[in-house]
Structure 1
Amino acid sequence: MVTTPYTSSSAPFAGDAAPDRIAWLRLSSVTLPLAAPISDAKVFTGRQQPMSEVAFLFAEIATEQGREGVGFSYSKRAGGPGQFAHAREIAGQLIGEDPSDIGRIWTKLVWAGASVGRSGLATQAVAAYDVALWDLKAKRAGLPLAKLLGAHRDSVRCYNTSGGFLHVPVEDVLTNASASLASGIGGIKIKVGHPDGRHDLRRLAAVREHIGEDVPLMVDANQQWDRTTAQRMGRSMEEFGLAWIEEPLDAYDAQGHAALAASLDTPVATGEMLASVAEHVELIRHQAADIIQPDAPRIGGITQFLKLAALAEHHQLQLAPHFAMEIHLHLAAAYPIEPWVEHFDWLYPLFEERLEIRDGRMHLSGRPGLGITLSEQARAWTVARHEEGKRP
């Protein structure tokens, strides 16, 4: 029997999918105002001003066949206009591309702006496109993104951060914690890193007493301790049975994090401020974290997050992605080791849908893709817009 090898010129198999191409895209720069300015340790140490708004970069993509996807990136404080400008400059690179070729498109977009770097603002602009392409791909399959990726669970443990900032009086922190737990959230995180460590310990003791010993409790120093202070505060906090101490040191101090993680019983978590997979690799190489906290929009999108997640799993690290729960719920659900996802209600006005939270967990919906639709309020908060191509 003679067989004919397959070549690129061979006729397509019966039932082959018709090719599709990106025909149109729209970028929107949206400024989300916060209900009140918030302060963490970076404000109390004088390094930043209170945050009153968050800048979002939304990318909407449509194909010749009428498939659509939406993605976003963001910047707290400065950077939003820069992300939008970079995304606008490279937008034309997407028109005519096959939306299934997400990895190749990511590389093409990054190299289009490689002279300004392959991390940070440049790849955060690419992230909005990348997330939109993954959303489109899952919608085309008729699946929630987590199911497309291969979910390990239909819900993820969740904890609340937004009620425990340093500017909030401790009485209100307790009230906020009670409200979060009553709403179905499973854990509470509060900010620490006040210049007077005794202030942190008093607040922490009050919260632990208020919520009880069985509720997972985390703290976040937002990089404001030096190595000596982190050791002392870490030891002082051991009695509270914390789920983790987050960002005790500068985000790039891998050696310091490694020494701290080795010396404390409390797990050390970090990574949210890193802006590439390569920077996270340094953390992992130094064994600098028990819990890794990547942020998909910050490191370049879902394509890059999946690369990092595979490496983290190989090293048996726990995962607790930072912010953007609308994206990270899906990515955490697809991580083999039981993860956490961070609950923020700040983004509620941007979307028509709400994520279901009960019994300490955030639950996947049956909606395809990310399961989000931009709200009319998001449209109203749009401060800049750009379109390429022609919408089908």
Structure 2
Amino acid sequence: MRRAKLELEPFSLRLKKPLGTAKGEIGERWGFLVGVETDDGVRGIGEATPLPGWTESYEECRARLEEMRDTAGKGREFDTETLGSAARHAVNLARMDAEARAKGMALHERLADRFGTRRDGVDRSTTVPVNATVGDGSVDETVSAAETAVENGFDCLKLKVGARAFEEDEKRLRAVRDAVGDDVVLRADANGAWERETASAAVDLLSALGFAYIEQPLAARDLSGHAELRDRGVGIALDETLYDSSVSLPLNLRKHADAVILKPMALGGPGPTLSLARYLRRSDVAPVVTTTVDAAVARAAAVHVAVAIPEVPPCGLATGDLLAEDLVDDPVPVTDGEIAVPEGPGIAGNALDCLLWD
């Protein structure tokens, strides 16, 4: 598939309302659809939706994809290893989609075969439990969003924190726990906003409120600080640490984290994500698959990745509703806190072909 024809189509999508995080608001997503067609005429589709801080910039992504398109148009071989993670995700996903289609297999089946997560004689789930994401807002706004999510069938919520003073976040977190009760699993995500003293106070609070874990309470480079926060009644999850090129990850991540957030867009595609998930499981660290608020193609592909992980915990894949518009009708809608894997060969059968091909 090295000499595949490559097509490129830019897009932009607005969010219904800006998603507040400790790193700032996300109000619009810009990206690219990438199509490949092999010498055998088999087509595949991928998506690059860069998010600086986790991936390369939009400008770098565009330049490298255009370069690859031009190289492929001249019949020369191209190599994805030199691409940024979002561009690499798009091309690798398109290739895997074509590969799965050629074999008449769903993407998650092909992933499970290639990366050894298929277990003979064991029925694997075709649905993924997911959490709802509640952005930064006032106490009333946060409680309202949490209650709406629970009414819509979610039993796991992730609350964004760290964008305001800790005392204000404390009011928001207490109010949500009071509003939704003890049966709803709660997570918090600080996006590395806190210093050690604040993070320590947050861990005590979240433990008392029965939160499952706090995601990236400290800066990406502070591995020892995260290790010190563990075993205090609330799990510690790493996100930005995984994607910071200046951080040398230790072989034993279990000393530093109970869970790791896996973003296929930032890891370069489904394959690397699933390989890392296998490693984490062997290390007794929970892999949690999430999107970077992606469009329909990457979001559907991430569902395939999650389904290929046996007994995956609730994942951060319920982000389609954050968009005011999407490229196509949602191929992975949420029903009662779960997402069913799309049917058909590849990512979603022929449902996505209209995006690039007539």
TM-score (norm 2): 0.83
Q: Which residue of 1 aligns with 2:191?
A: 222
Q: Give how far 1:375 is off.
A: 9.1
Q: Counterpart of 2:135 in structure 1: which amino acid?
A: F
**Percent of residue pairs identical:** 26
Q: Counterpart of 1:38 in structure 2: which amino acid?
A: L
Q: Which residue of 1 aligns with 2:68?
A: 90
Q: Which residue of 2 aligns with 1:157?
A: 129
Q: Which residue of 2 aligns with 1:147?
A: 109
Instruction: Write the distance in 2 (CA, Å) between the matches of 1:204 and 1:353.
Output: 31
CA contact (8 A) 1:30 1:56 kept: yes
1:315 equivalenced with 2:283 (yes/no): yes
Q: Give how far 1:178 is off.
A: 2.8
SS in 2 for 1:341: coil
SS in 1 for 2:145: helix
Instruction: Write the distance in 2 (CA, Å) between the matches of 1:278 and 1:127.
Output: 21
Instruction: Write the distance in 2 (CA, Å) between the matches of 1:27 and 1:175.
Output: 40
Q: Which residue of 1 aligns with 2:157?
A: 188
SS in 1 for 2:14: strand
Q: Which residue of 1 aligns with 2:15?
A: 34
Residue-by-residue CA offset, 1:142-169 (whole Å, 9 max, x unaligned): 22211222363211110011xx211x33
Q: Name which of structure 1's ranges 362-371 and 223-232 shifts more when overlaid on structure 2.
A: 362-371
Q: Which residue of 2 aligns with 1:117?
A: none
Q: Which residue of 1 aligns with 2:304?
A: 330
1:351 equivalenced with 2:353 (yes/no): no
Q: Counterpart of 1:75 in structure 2: which amino acid?
A: P
Q: Counterpart of 1:33 in structure 2: which amino acid?
A: R
Q: Give how far 1:22 is off.
A: 4.7
Q: Give how far 1:374 is off.
A: 5.0
Find the partner of 2:80 among 98, 109, 113.
Answer: 109
Residue-by-residue CA offset, 1:309-343 (whole Å, 9 max, x unaligned): 22112112111122154222111111134322211
Distance 1:283-1:258 versus aligned 2 partners, 3 A rule: farther
Distance 1:295-1:243 versus aligned 2 partners, 3 A rule: same
Residue-by-residue CA offset, 1:224-281 (whole Å, 9 max, x unaligned): 001221111111221111121011011232222122124x211111125633899684
Instruction: Write the distance in 2 (CA, Å) between the matches of 1:230 and 1:278.
Output: 22
Q: Give how far 1:70 is off.
A: 1.0
Instruction: Write the distance in 2 (CA, Å) between the matches of 1:93 and 1:247.
Output: 39
Q: Name which of structure 1's ranges 296-305 and 364-373 shifts more when overlaid on structure 2.
A: 364-373
Q: Counterpart of 2:322 in structure 1: which amino acid?
A: W
1:289 equivalenced with 2:248 (yes/no): no
1:137 equivalenced with 2:99 (yes/no): yes
1:128 equivalenced with 2:90 (yes/no): yes
Q: Give how far 1:287 is off.
A: 2.3
1:231 equivalenced with 2:212 (yes/no): no
Instruction: Write the distance in 1 (CA, Å) between the matches of 2:2 and 2:86.
Output: 23
Q: Which residue of 2 aligns with 1:360?
A: 337
Whose Rg is larger? 1
Instruction: Write the distance in 1 (CA, Å) between the matches of 2:175 and 2:288.
Output: 25
Q: Give how far 1:21 is off.
A: 7.0
CA contact (8 A) 1:274 1:299 kept: no
Instruction: Write the distance in 1 (CA, Å) between the matches of 2:36 and 2:246.
Output: 28
CA contact (8 A) 1:277 1:305 kept: no
SS in 2 for 1:71: strand
Structure 2 gap segments, 5+ residues each:
113-117, 119-123
Q: Give how far 1:109 is off.
A: 2.3
Residue-by-residue CA offset, 1:115-153 (whole Å, 9 max, x unaligned): xxxxxx723322210011112222222222112223632
Instruction: Write the distance in 2 (CA, Å) between the matches of 1:35 and 1:349.
Output: 11
Distance 1:27-1:274 versus aligned 2 partners, 3 A rule: farther
Q: Counterpart of 1:52 in structure 2: which amino acid?
A: G
Instruction: Write the distance in 1 (CA, Å) between the matches of 2:242 and 2:327.
Output: 25
CA contact (8 A) 1:58 1:73 kept: yes
Instruction: Write the distance in 1 (CA, Å) between the matches of 2:286 and 2:242.
Output: 17
Find the partner of 1:339 among 301, 306, 313.
Answer: 313
Q: Give how far 1:190 is off.
A: 1.0
Instruction: Write the distance in 1 (CA, Å) between the matches of 2:212 and 2:235.
Output: 7
Instruction: Write the distance in 2 (CA, Å) between the matches of 1:131 and 1:283.
Output: 27
Q: Which residue of 2 aligns with 1:172?
A: 141
RMSD: 3.0
